[in-house]
Amino acid sequence: MRVANAGCVMPIIRRVDGSVSWIEVFGTPLGMELSAEVGYQEVESTLAVGDLIILTSDGVVEANNGLGEMFGFDRLEQAVATGPNTSAEAMLEHLKAVVAAFVGKTEPHDDLTIVVVQV
């Protein structure tokens, strides 16, 4: 898999062996003048059959609970690590449930987009 990033949350991979890793790729937000001048870094990662690729909007890691705490990158990584690897749909439902439980009745301030793809 080849990945570039235009200022978004880095992709996270749940490997079929259960390990979790972030694809550390950075970039200037799309549409900024600087992005046209410097371009975008590209990173390659080898995937195995069964690996899950999780893409999220910043609204997921920035989701707040009633105490004003952010969901954050550590909670996202833990949720991915403890989620099912049986299917993309199962992982998606797990992540949605974990974020919803954390946020509770707090009104979201941003979108909560999650995309899960299984190799």
Q: What is the CATH number of the domain that holds 75?
A: 3.60.40.10
Give residue 108's pLDDT. Answer: 80
Identify the bridge partners of residue 2 per DSSP, sorted by sequence position: 44
Question: Which tokens sit at 14?
Answer: 């749940």
Give residue 4's pLDDT. Answer: 75
Q: Residues near 26 by Cβ (< 8 Å), separated by ≥ 6?
A: 5, 10, 41
Rounded CA separation 112/58 (Å): 8
How distant, in Å, are the alpha carbons of 12, 16, 82, 115 from that of 86?
17, 9, 12, 15
pTM (2 d.p.): 0.85
Q: Are 45 and 13 in contact (CB under 8 A)?
A: yes
Q: Which domain range does residue 52 map to?
A: 2-118
Report how many domains make up the chain.
1
User: Could you list the pLDDT tens digit for every one of the 119 residues in the chain?
Assistant: 887 777 678 899 999 999 999 887 766 666 666 656 666 778 888 999 999 999 998 899 999 999 999 999 999 999 999 999 999 999 999 999 999 999 999 888 888 899 999 99
Using CB atoms within 10 A of its CB, is residue 80 exposed (0-12), middle (13-18) or buried (19+)?
Answer: buried
